Amino acid sequence: MTDEALLSAAQVSKAWPFEEARKLLKRYPAGKPGGAPVLFETGYGPSGLPHIGTFQEVLRTTLVRRAYETLTGGAPTRLVAFSDDMDGLRKVPDNVPNQGLLTAYLGHPLSRIPDPFGKYESFAHHNNAMLREFLDRFGFDYEFVSSSDQYNSGAFDDALRGILRHWQAIMDIMLPTLREERRQTYSPVLPVSPKTGQVLQVPVEVVDAEAGLVRFEDHGELVESCILGGNSKLQWKVDWAMRWVALGVDYEMCGKDLTDSVRESGRITRALGATPPEGLIYELFLDEEGQKISKSKGNGLTIDQWLTYGSEESLGLFLFREPKSAKSLHTGIIAKNVDEYWQFREKLPSQPIEQQLGNPVWHLLRANGYHGGDGDKLPVTYGLLLNLVGVLGAQATREQVWSYLGNYVADADPARHPELDKLVTNALAYNRDLIAPTLKRRRPEGGEAAALAALDEELAATSDDATAEELQNIVYEIGKDPHYGFEQLRDWFKCLYETLLGSSQGPRMGSFIALYGIANTRKLIAEALA
């Protein structure tokens, strides 16, 4: 494949990262003038710990970043992970220690509140460290930028003066979007009280825009104060626009819940004389019941839970797909995404370039600079692995699973198959926590017992080295025999899954028998018939 072929395919690819990147390409066909990097940004609110939403936003933004680099032949780019740690603490999180300590600092900037964990100089510093550790864990290429550092160092001062200069224009944008009661006290600038250090929600009058002077009431006293150098924080929508202008942000995506913020922050950005960034508004996650995921309800799935039961790559595949469509996020989808990731990965090397660019794995591998190599096929599907572990029971061990894999996988050694070995660990956890507690095999009904007895008889006469395909054919022939009364083959397979595996769904039975072994499968049949 030549660079020209890649570029030609990328220019017309319908994969969403390329569609997003082409928005930027219209602005900067060959990168920014003067060689400055195109700036991609993701935001993080450090009042809580990083979560799956944080991961998805950085991953998806990275995919667009790499697509833009491909379209421009390598124009320079940057990814900034921005922490809004000048925000005032609105409520005390449930999952932190020393809640009384935090209660005393309600309303104070997060970067000026003691760390309840006692490890860092502030609560924000603690959560910022967790963010960097979280992003580093997945190998993201990013630069960390702290809101409090930008405010306190004066890096935002020129942009803050711009807010004061365009005060009325900003008020004209924001006031019509507010309830009448809120309009009476609204101010784009939230001054930090010289008395208490709290971020104040009070009306503000501009005294001198160039000097940064404003007038406001501070706990009953009318005061004049300079908002520069970390002595203020902007309201959310104004702050977002100011940040876009100050940092020169070219691309930022966000969730559907921020649609209004995107619109109003964009209008404020234009009022400040700049162009808003391009971006994608993505849909939010739903739980298994189709309800919106809420951290307070606890009806979501954490990133650690996903990585306990599935691979990082499978999570990447889930997040890659259809970002503009709402998706259910629960443990039941993990196994499917693991196997589909490896199906996409196996296809990739043989696909023409146009199809490669539509293959999610092409984008996911390039997110961190990996361009393919060995190990593009998994010797056993994750679904089959889960069925094996399911029949072995909740007390199954890694060594026990690998002993069975020796029936099916050439050179069945964890060191030779590290990706499979990781999935063995995932499968053991999945079975222990999610399958074993609910596993229940039913008794055969009607002609099912005779069909199982026939399968046992056929297996008894079959060589131990029979292939999965040969074993599958044996299963097929019994299911097609009208003597046993199965209207469709799927009824026979459902019988096998429910009586032998205790599940309503399962693998190709020929593959399972080859993996589990003929003798062991006959024991399962005997147990079912008993």
Domain boundaries, the chain: 3-181+231-282, 288-366, 382-438, 448-529
Q: Helix, strand, or coil here: 168?
A: helix
Q: Which amino acid is at 371?
A: H
Closest by alpha carbon to 64, among 487, 56, 203?
56
Query: Do residues 124 and 111 lie in contact, with contact meaning Cβ atoms separated by under 8 Å?
Result: yes
From residue 97, alpha-carbon distances to 93, 125, 290, 485 in Å are 9, 16, 33, 63
Q: Tell me if domain 3-181+231-282 and domain 448-529 are identical in fold.
A: no
CA distance 184 to 276: 28
End-to-end Cα distance, the chain: 60
Q: Which amino acid is at 522?
A: R
Give the CATH architecture of domain 3-181+231-282.
3-Layer(aba) Sandwich (3.40)
Across residues 185-210, what is the average pLDDT?
Answer: 94
- List residues bridging with 285 in a β-sheet: 327
From residue 263, alpha-carbon distances to 84, 241, 260 in Å are 20, 10, 5
CA distance 460 to 126: 63
Q: Under 8 Å CB-to-CB from 374, ≥6 apart: which residues? A: none
Query: Do residues 92 and 104 lie in contact, with contact meaning Cβ atoms separated by under 8 Å?
Result: no
Across residues 263-284, what is the average pLDDT?
Answer: 97
The model's pLDDT over 296-309, given as tens digits with 9 standing for 90+, comes to 455 668 888 999 99
Across residues 404-414, what is the average pLDDT?
Answer: 90
CA distance 512 to 474: 13
Angle at 519 between CA 450 and CA 391, to 5 degrees: 85
Give kind and range of the element (H or E) at residue 478.
helix 468-480
pLDDT in the model for residue 47: 73
Q: Does 521 score more than 60 pLDDT?
A: yes
Q: Which amino acid is at 320?
A: F
Angle at 51 between CA 153 and CA 67, to 5 degrees: 80
pLDDT in the model for residue 479: 94
- Backbone φ, ψ for residue 361 (5° rounding): -65, -35
DSSP track, 94-147? TTSS-HHHHHTTTTSBGGGS--TTSSSSSHHHHHHHHHHHHHHHTT---EEEEH
Query: Do residues 306 and 300 lie in contact, with contact meaning Cβ atoms separated by under 8 Å?
Result: no
Across residues 312-319, what is the average pLDDT?
Answer: 95
> Rounded to an integer, what is the distance from CA 381 to the centroid of its chain?
23
Q: Does 78 score more than 90 pLDDT?
A: yes
Q: How confident is the model at residue 295 (pLDDT cuts 50, 70, 90)?
A: low
Closest by alpha carbon to 57, among 252, 330, 304, 277?
252
The model's pLDDT over 38-55, given as tens digits with 9 standing for 90+, comes to 999 999 887 777 788 889
Q: What is the DSSP letter of 432?
A: I
From residue 407, alpha-carbon distances to 10, 379, 380, 404, 519 in Å are 44, 12, 11, 6, 12
> Rounded to an integer, what is the distance from CA 248 to the centroid of its chain?
26
The model's pLDDT over 333-349, given as tens digits with 9 standing for 90+, comes to 999 999 999 999 999 99
CA-based torsion, 70, 72, 78, 83: positive or negative: negative
Across residues 205-220, what is the average pLDDT?
Answer: 96
CA-based torsion, 357, 362, 367, 370: positive or negative: negative
Q: What is the DSSP letter of 200?
A: P
Rg (CA), the chain: 29
- List residues bridging with 42 in a β-sheet: 81
Closest by alpha carbon to 448, among 399, 406, 483?
483
The model's pLDDT over 80-91, given as tens digits with 9 standing for 90+, comes to 999 998 888 888
pLDDT in the model for residue 288: 77
Give the CATH architecture of domain 448-529.
Orthogonal Bundle (1.10)
From residue 63, alpha-carbon distances to 53, 314, 482 in Å are 15, 15, 53
Q: Which of 106-115, 256-265, 359-368 has the highest mean pLDDT?
A: 256-265
Q: Does 368 score more than 80 pLDDT?
A: no
The model's pLDDT over 117-171, given as tens digits with 9 standing for 90+, comes to 999 999 989 989 988 998 998 899 999 999 999 999 999 999 999 999 999 999 9
Query: Do residues 6 and 46 lie in contact, with contact meaning Cβ atoms separated by under 8 Å?
Result: no
Beta strand pairing call for 189-191 and 232-234: antiparallel
Q: Which of 22-31, 129-138, 404-413, 439-448 has the highest mean pLDDT?
A: 22-31
Q: Which two tokens stand for residue 205?
A: 């009058």
pLDDT in the model for residue 296: 47
- Top pLDDT among 9 and 1 is at 9
pLDDT in the model for residue 301: 81
Q: How confident is the model at residue 430 (pLDDT cuts 50, 70, 90)?
A: very high
Q: Does 504 score more than 90 pLDDT?
A: no
CA distance 342 to 314: 9
CA distance 238 to 244: 10
- Helix 418-430 to helix 382-392 angle (10° resolution) is 50
pLDDT in the model for residue 80: 98
Q: Which amino acid is at 303?
A: I
The mean pLDDT value of the chain amounts to 92
Residue with tokens 């599958």: 472
The model's pLDDT over 453-496, given as tens digits with 9 standing for 90+, comes to 999 999 999 999 999 999 999 999 999 999 999 999 999 999 99
- Top pLDDT among 386 and 370 is at 386
Q: Which amino acid is at 465?
A: D
